Chain A
Amino acid sequence: MHTAAGVEARLPIRSDMDLVWVRQHVRQAAALLGFGLVDQTKLVTAASELARNTLVHGGGGRMEAAHVTTTGGIDGLRLTFSDSGPGIVDLDRALSDGYTSGGGLGMGLGGARRLVHDFAVDSAPGSGTTVRVTSWVSRPPRPREGV
């Protein structure tokens, strides 16, 4: 079993310094839960994209990290990014590659969705944005374990 310590966190996203702490926390939490190197890298990259959106488009907000488990006992890391900014007017458009309302590449939101297992956005114009992503640890079968 994993302890919640080191995984559970609530971090502010108010500056580009905070983006660094978000990335470091997600890296550490993913490693603790047993994610492999490639999956850690995908999660940290997705978190970096979403946290930067929270900062740049949402005017700042926070990230919450939580350890989740399936009934089958598979560990997952759930990250929730929320802000009370302007919200996303056209979500389909925002998710499409290359769409940006600013000077970005427009790859962040759609790219983050590809990098995680579960992805959900809750947003409405004027009422902020919450993006919740979850990835699950995929362990190679280890038949001898616990025998």
Chain B
Amino acid sequence: MSEEFSRPVAGHVPVLRLGDVLLVTLQGDLHDSTAHRLQQDLSETIARSGVGGVVIDISGVEIVDSFLGRVLAEIAAQTELLAARTVVAGMRPAVAITLVELGLTLPGLRTALTTEAAMELLAQPVVSSRSGGRREESP
């Protein structure tokens, strides 16, 4: 990991387009304002580009507090309204354990273990009954 990533990310977060999907990679420690800006930028980018999915890679994120958790949930809700799906990928186990204890279970959020798995999830056809939180495959 490069030195740069342990520093606060003050500017903007890079958003990469891969076919029908926007790939957002969050790294290091985000300012609140950076997270807010990302939230705004993403909606505009989705509306402009008409992509069907967003993958937010948080494997490089060391903590998710209630603020960042809320931003992620709001991004997912926004993209849903813009006819796109968001998958949060790569949450670290320590982050997941902490979020549950914090009381933030983020029920509306789709997750995948890796970015690749998130891409596969988005490549699958949308399940007819729209419900944000549940797993895409039925048991």
> Which residues of A line the B interface, CB within 8 A?
16-17, 19-20, 23-24, 27, 37-38, 40-42, 44-45, 48-49, 52, 97, 104-105, 107-108, 110-112, 114-115
Q: How far is the CB of A40 from chain B (nearest CB, A)?
A: 8
- Complex contacts, B31 vs chain A, CB 8 Å: 16-17, 19-20
Known: A16-B32, A16-B33, A19-B32. A52 touches B67 (CB 8 A): yes
Q: Which of A16, A17, A23, A105 contacts B104 (CB 8 A)?
A: A105
Q: Enumerate 7 A-B pairs (CB-CB under 8 Å) in ascending A order.
A: A41-B94, A41-B97, A41-B98, A48-B67, A104-B66, A111-B101, A115-B102
Taking the complex as formed, is B139 at the interface, i.e. its CB lies under 8 A from any CB of chain A? no
Q: What's the Cα separation between A16 and B37 when bound, in Å?
A: 14
Main SS of the interface on chain B?
Answer: helix
- Complex contacts, B33 vs chain A, CB 8 Å: 16
Contact status B65-A49, CB under 8 Å? yes
- Complex contacts, B97 vs chain A, CB 8 Å: 38, 41-42
Contact status A107-B66, CB under 8 Å? yes
Q: What's the Cα separation between A115 and B62 when bound, in Å?
A: 16
Contact status A44-B103, CB under 8 Å? no
Q: What's the Cα separation between A112 and B65 when bound, in Å?
A: 10
- Complex contacts, B65 vs chain A, CB 8 Å: 45, 48-49, 52, 108
Taking the complex as formed, is B29 at the interface, i.e. its CB lies under 8 A from any CB of chain A? yes
Contact status B29-A105, CB under 8 Å? no
Query: Residue-by-residue, is B90-108 near A (CB-CB < 8 Å gives 1, otherwise 0)?
Result: 0011110110011110000
